[in-house]
Amino acid sequence: MRRALVSLAGVYLLFAVIGRFVEGMGAVECGCADDCWCKRPVLSTFRWVFPWGHRCPPQSD
């Protein structure tokens, strides 16, 4: 059981790092407000694997 949890955590972190790498290449971009938690240096790594609670700016049509 512990091995499965460690493996799952490793895969989660791998996806987080891949998401950060893809964002760094310019392939994707987060459209959140500047004060969103995902704009902070360390937390931005988890932006694409924990997509809840973002503060998106209001959209004008």
Task: Tell me the per-residue pLDDT of 22-57, one tens digit each, with 9 for 90 and over.
Answer: 888 888 777 788 888 888 888 878 887 876 777 766
- pLDDT for residue 5: 95
Q: Where are the alpha helices (DSSP H) in the chain?
A: 2-25
Q: What is the reported pTM?
A: 0.65
Question: C-alpha 60: how far from its chain's center?
Answer: 25
Under the phi-then-psi rule, with left for phi > 0, alpha for psi from -120 to 50, and beta for the rest, what region is 57?
A: beta
Segment 8-28 shows an average pLDDT of 87
Q: What is the mean pLDDT of residues 17-24?
A: 86
Looking at residue 10, its pLDDT comes to 94
State the pLDDT at residue 27. Answer: 86
* Torsions phi, psi for 25 (to 5 deg): -75, -15
What residue segments make up the domains of the chain, in order of their start?
A: 2-46
